């Protein structure tokens, strides 16, 4: 359809949502948020716009609750099933997507979408507009006239109903649809009609008498006795059905033509939404095909480079992007941007005299404190520059960290995702014949464009203090930790790997003996055959590929047969060997015998740091075999020790501070054993009478509360019934009423604001907390509580890292590892007590809480064999 003739598309949004929901199955985000209806509606909208090119558009929704028709007939739509939870959770987000397309949404409490559409269509028709109603509901056919048509959308081919098409399909004119449905009823809406009268009979009656009223005025002329009896018996229902079917064209809704006129979508808003929903293809489709003209150039002459650097020295801020040699990890070029749409690339050709000259000139810029340097992943840039003996001095702005602080729950903070989400920009350099320098220039340009947007966003969300005083300074700390690395006892690792290898071979032989044959132990299919077909053990859990052979199933089968127990042992030992010992050996520097992990600052939603290659925070500590891995971590230099400083029960102390619970505050102020103290309250017994079993149960409850543990989860952990577990939780909250009030208030505030904050005002947005899906809402509520507590613990450990890094520089202590609430250092052996005292003082005094922070200090020859260090 052409816009030459002004037309308006009125879409039945609820109908769209149902169609999309059932047309696309099993689509959700990595967090489990269903997105199938959202995705379907977006595609239906795009298809509609592409195929019909409407001039104006509006989407109309039903609202939950009774309507005027329910008041007329209490059984109206009574057979309709409630909207599925998985669809209900998506409705508000679908409306958000529609609004982001700059398409208005209409809804009116107490009235149905059909009536709103009828009112808008009538008003539009009077203004001389052509109206296309997009719906699968045949009620709308009564509105069809010279101006109004109905488009019934289908995945393969949509159908347009005009006067002729309505007459052809239903045998009546559009206005006759009201009379037709009054007689024949509508099963989908539970409109009764006249019992025993179908479409053909209804058509005949309308052809002859024109309307319901006409039929009953001429009832004596109907010669068929059975038909006459049906009509007389069903007169009341016919009149009622006609009232229910007839659409109301006089609702108090305004036709805002300017608002409905189709324009450009809000690209930034859509980019944020598509990123959250993980719609990668739609994200890419947002980009316009043609990009604005840019000026990117590569400069290699000494005079040209000097001219560029002289210009840069006059700027207040610049952005930069480095090209890294993939083989050496060293810098091979750098691009600077002073103005949006412009960038200059300066190549570095290894260790030549020319490159050294250029690097010296670059050093002046990057260490100039009068120029703000804007980059993406400053820590990586520092690593590239480190071999050249200089870095990037403050002031600095890292767009990766800024984006992470603004949107910590999003799965990606790579430059391409940030650019798409914030600017609606899709990187293109490098996809054609463009030189590598152009790609680096483009990155520098986009980093500059992101700067003002992200700085503004941090300001709006009151995050600048956290960004400037904690996250940005932490970059240097992490870079130094990565550079320093941790010493590895290579001989010990090799010995343990060989030892486990021999034990693994023995377990493998026992498995083959018990199975009566050799097979691939790592193949679930072959294992299914052995366990469930050959040994006829009971299948505990089903998967898409048959009976499950996961750890929980093997544990249940272990008392019934020796083979599942041996399989568990095999898996445990195999993981220890491959994931830890062999992996550590492979990643350890062959010359220095040091392991250099990566500390990730922009990954977790709570603000915690993570590590990778290898993940040091995932080293097992619950089993003896797992703990022994820590013995491989050593100082790496003579006359030094490993020193570990661990916050004691920091999350429970933060819970006490945030909740201000009197009992919990009292326990920590008196330095009581908080788990024993909790046990005495829950079991209503004296502290001296608390058994180890009681303390263990109380400890599980204490930590479970922080993570929002349910009675089911607690029952599983303690091996008790769900009822008993609920009694434990109820008892806990009756003793710690302040904690219960804190949890309730946190959830209420999160639902009201859409986010929660930590002690340092770190934000985490939790939109799922308003979900009608109970499972998703429950997860969000637990995340809200956990974030306030665990996120605050992350704030404190980061403050501690900054203070330790600053205050211990002259002591010879080197911070090398951070694992959750623990900091690991290597220290000179002869300064153990002095450094321990200093570390303890720094960590315990880094932030004043309503309860004391306590740090346990231990030292030893390796990370495993540690002993307490006195602070005297």
Band (pLDDT 50/70/90 cuts) for residue 70 is low
Band (pLDDT 50/70/90 cuts) for residue 1 is very low
Between the alpha carbon of residue 39 and those of residues 26, 87, 267, 449, the distances in Å are 11, 12, 17, 30
Give the CA dihedral 652, 654, 659, 663, nearest 10 degrees: 50
Give the tokens for residue 93. 């987000």
Between the alpha carbon of residue 145 and those of residues 88, 122, 563, the distances in Å are 34, 10, 76
Asked whether the beta carbons of 311 and 338 are under 8 A apart, the reply is yes
Give the CA dihedral 346, 352, 358, 363, nearest 10 degrees: 110
Q: Give all domains of the chain, ordered by start, each with its CATH number.
A: 7-267 (3.40.50.1010), 287-461 (3.30.420.10), 493-592 (1.20.1060.10), 651-788 (1.10.150.20)
Given a cut of 80, is residue 539 above it in pLDDT? yes
Q: What is the pTM of this model?
A: 0.77
Go through the chain and tell me how many residues it has.
872
Average pLDDT over residues 807-819: 96
**For the chain, what is the radius of gyration of the CA atoms?**
35
Q: Return the SS3 of 342.
A: strand
pLDDT, tens only, 238-282: 777 777 788 888 888 888 898 999 988 988 889 888 888 888 888
Q: What spatial distance separates the first Cα and last Cα of the chain, rounded to whole Å? A: 86
Which comes out higher in pLDDT, residue 625 or 569?
569
pLDDT, residue 431, reads 42
- The neighbour count for residue 650, using CB atoms within 10 Å, is 23
Q: Return the SS3 of 494.
A: helix
Which comes out higher in pLDDT, residue 15 or 860?
860
pLDDT, residue 200, reads 79
- Alpha helix locations (H) across 461-599? 464-466, 472-484, 490-515, 524-528, 551-557, 562-575, 583-587
Band (pLDDT 50/70/90 cuts) for residue 424 is confident
Give the CA dihedral 416, 422, 425, 426, nearest 10 degrees: 30
Q: Which residues pair with 859 in a beta bridge?
A: 643, 867
For the chain, what is the mean pLDDT?
A: 88
Give the tokens for residue 585. 């050996």
Average pLDDT over residues 25-32: 77
User: How many Cα atoms are found within 13 Å in the side-chain-facing hemisphere of 606?
Assistant: 23
Residue 414 CA, chain-centre distance (Å), reads: 15
Q: Which residues pair with 58 in a beta bridge?
A: 10
List all residues 6 or more positions away from 714 whose beta carbon is below 8 Å from its beta carbon: 700, 701, 704, 720, 725, 728, 729
Query: What's the DSSP call for residue 393?
Result: P
pLDDT, residue 138, reads 82
pLDDT, residue 72, reads 64
Q: Which residues pair with 130 in a beta bridge?
A: 7
Q: Which residues pair with 74 in a beta bridge?
A: none
What H or E segment, with its residue span, contains residue 415? helix 415-423
Band (pLDDT 50/70/90 cuts) for residue 477 is very high
pLDDT, residue 210, reads 80
Given a cut of 80, is residue 430 above it in pLDDT? no
Lowest mean pLDDT among 98-112, 229-243, 347-361, 792-806: 229-243
Q: Helices then strands (H, E): number in the chain?
A: 37, 26
**Cis, bond preceding 391 (omega within 30 deg of 0):** no
pLDDT, tens only, 195-214: 777 777 888 788 778 877 78
Give the tokens for residue 216. 């009953």
pLDDT, residue 432, reads 44
DSSP string, 770-810: G-S-HHHHHHHHHHHHHHHHHHHHHHHHHHHHHHHHHHTTT
Band (pLDDT 50/70/90 cuts) for residue 339 is very high
Range with the largest mean pLDDT of 152-161, 598-607, 674-683:
598-607
Please give the Cα distance from 584 to 577 (Å, whole number): 10
Range with the largest mean pLDDT of 150-159, 699-708, 720-729:
720-729
Given a cut of 80, is residue 387 above it in pLDDT? yes
Please give the Cα distance from 562 to 793 (Å, whole number): 44
Between the alpha carbon of residue 360 and those of residues 312, 352, 382, 391, the distances in Å are 15, 13, 16, 12
pLDDT, residue 154, reads 63
Range with the largest mean pLDDT of 10-19, 159-168, 492-501, 766-775:
492-501
pLDDT, tens only, 169-198: 888 888 888 888 877 777 666 677 777 777
Axis-axis angle for helices 692-706, 650-659 (nearest 10):
60
Given a cut of 70, is residue 156 above it in pLDDT? no
Given a cut of 90, is residue 328 above it in pLDDT? no
Given a cut of 50, is residue 872 above it in pLDDT? no
Average pLDDT over residues 212-235: 78
Which comes out higher in pLDDT, residue 51 or 776?
51
Average pLDDT over residues 756-777: 86
* pLDDT > 70 fraction of the chain, expressed in percent and rounded: 94
Given a cut of 50, is residue 770 above it in pLDDT? yes
Average pLDDT over residues 512-522: 94
Average pLDDT over residues 719-744: 89
Which comes out higher in pLDDT, residue 64 or 658?
658
Please give the Cα distance from 603 to 611 (Å, whole number): 10
Given a cut of 80, is residue 125 above it in pLDDT? yes
pLDDT, residue 65, reads 64
Give the tokens for residue 403. 């984006």
Range with the largest mean pLDDT of 107-121, 161-175, 472-486:
472-486
């Amino acid at each position: 359809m052409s816009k030459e003739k002004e037309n308006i598309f009125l879409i039945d949004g609820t109908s769209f949502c149902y169609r999309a929901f059932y047309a696309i199955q099993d689509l959700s985000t990595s967090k489990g948020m269903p997105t199938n209806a959202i995705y379907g509606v977006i595609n239906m909208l795009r298809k509609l716009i592409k195929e019909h090119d409407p001039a104006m558009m509006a989407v109309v929704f039903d609202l939950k609750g009774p309507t005027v028709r329910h008041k007329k007939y209490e059984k109206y739509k009574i057979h309709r099933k409630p909207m599925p939870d998985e669809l209900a959770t998506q409705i508000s987000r679908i409306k958000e997507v529609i609004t982001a397309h700059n398409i208005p949404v209409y809804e009116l409490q107490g009235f149905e979408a059909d009536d709103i559409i009828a009112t808008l269509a009538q008003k539009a028709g009077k203004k001389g507009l052509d109206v296309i109603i997009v719906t699968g509901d045949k009620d709308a056919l009564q509105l069809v006239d010279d101006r109004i048509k109905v488009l019934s959308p289908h995945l393969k081919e949509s159908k347009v109903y005009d006067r002729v098409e309505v007459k052809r399909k239903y045998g009546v004119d559009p206005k006759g649809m009201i009379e037709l449905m009054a007689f024949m009823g509508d099963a989908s809406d539970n409109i009764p009609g006249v019992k025993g009268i179908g479409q053909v009979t209804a058509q005949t009656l309308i052809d002859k008498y024109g309307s319901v009223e006409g039929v009953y005025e001429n009832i004596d002329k109907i010669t068929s006795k059975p038909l006459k009896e049906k009509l007389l018996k069903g007169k009341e229902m016919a009149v009622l059905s006609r009232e229910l079917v007839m659409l109301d064209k006089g609702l108090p809704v305004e036709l805002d033509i300017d608002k409905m006129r189709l324009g450009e979508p809000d690209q930034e808003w859509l980019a944020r939404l598509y990123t959250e929903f993980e719609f990668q293809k739609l994200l890419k489709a947002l980009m316009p095909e043609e990009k604005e003209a840019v000026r990117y150039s590569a400069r290699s002459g000494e005079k040209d480079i000097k001219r560029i650097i002289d210009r840069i020295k006059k700027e207040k801020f610049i952005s930069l992007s480095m090209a890294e040699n993939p083989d050496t990890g060293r810098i091979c070029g750098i691009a600077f941007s002073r103005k949006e749409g412009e960038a200059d690339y300066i190549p570095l050709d290894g260790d030549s005299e020319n490159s050294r000259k250029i690097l010296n000139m670059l050093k002046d810029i990057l260490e100039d404190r009068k120029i703000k340097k804007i980059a993406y992943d400053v820590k990586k840039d520092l690593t590239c520059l480190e071999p050249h003996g200089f870095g990037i001095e403050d002031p600095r702005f890292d767009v990766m960290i800024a984006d992470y602080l603004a949107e910590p729950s999003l799965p990606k903070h790579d430059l391409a995702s940030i650019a798409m989400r914030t600017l609606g920009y899709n990187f293109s350099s490098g996809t054609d014949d463009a030189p590598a320098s152009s790609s680096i220039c483009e990155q520098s340009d986009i980093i500059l464009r992101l700067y003002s947007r992200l700085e503004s966003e941090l300001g709006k969300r009151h995050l600048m203090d956290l960004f400037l005083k904690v996250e940005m300074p932490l970059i240097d700390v992490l870079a130094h930790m990565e550079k320093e690395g941790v010493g590895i006892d290579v001989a010990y690792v090799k010995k343990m790997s060989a030892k486990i290898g021999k034990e693994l071979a023995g377990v493998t032989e026992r498995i083959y003996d018990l199975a009566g044959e050799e097979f691939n132990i790592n193949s679930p299919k072959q294992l299914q055959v052995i366990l469930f077909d050959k040994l006829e053990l009971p299948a505990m859990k089903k998967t898409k590929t048959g009976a499950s052979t996961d750890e929980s199933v093997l544990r249940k089968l272990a008392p019934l047969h020796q083979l599942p127990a041996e399989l568990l042992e095999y898996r445990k030992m195999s993981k220890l060997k491959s994931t830890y010992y062999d992996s550590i050996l492979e990643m350890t520097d062959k010359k220095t015998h040091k392991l250099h992990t990566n500390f990730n600052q922009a990954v977790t939603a709570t603000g915690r740091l993570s590590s990778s290659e290898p993940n040091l925070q995932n080293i097992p500590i619950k089993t003896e075999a797992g703990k022994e891995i820590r013995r491989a971590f050593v100082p790496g230099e003579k006359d030094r020790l490993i020193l570990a400083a661990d916050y004691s029960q920091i999350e429970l102390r933060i819970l006490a501070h945030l909740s201000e619970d009197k009992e919990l505050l009292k326990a920590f102020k008196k330095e009581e054993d908080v788990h024993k103290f909790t046990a005495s309250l829950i079991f209503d017994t004296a502290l001296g009478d608390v058994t180890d079993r009681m303390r263990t149960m109380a400890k599980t409850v204490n930590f479970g509360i922080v993570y929002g543990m349910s009675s089911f989860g607690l029952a599983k952990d303690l091996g008790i019934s769900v009822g008993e577990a609920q009694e434990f939780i109820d008892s806990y909250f009756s003793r710690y009423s302040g904690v219960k009030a804190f949890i309730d208030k946190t959830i209420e505030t999160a639902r009201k604001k859409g986010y929660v904050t930590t002690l340092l005002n770190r934000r985490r947005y939790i939109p799922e907390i308003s979900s009608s899906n109970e499972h998703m809402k429950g997860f969000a509520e637990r995340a809200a509580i956990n974030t306030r507590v665990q996120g605050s613990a992350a704030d404190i450990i980061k403050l501690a890292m900054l203070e330790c890094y600053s205050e211990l520089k002259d002591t010879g202590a080197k911070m090398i590892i951070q694992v959750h609430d623990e900091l690991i250092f290597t220290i000179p052996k002869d300064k153990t007590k002095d450094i321990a005292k200093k570390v303890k003082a720094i960590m315990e005094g880094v932030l004043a809480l309503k309860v004391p922070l306590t740090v346990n200090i231990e030292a030893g020859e390796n990370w495993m064999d540690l002993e307490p260090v006195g602070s005297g």
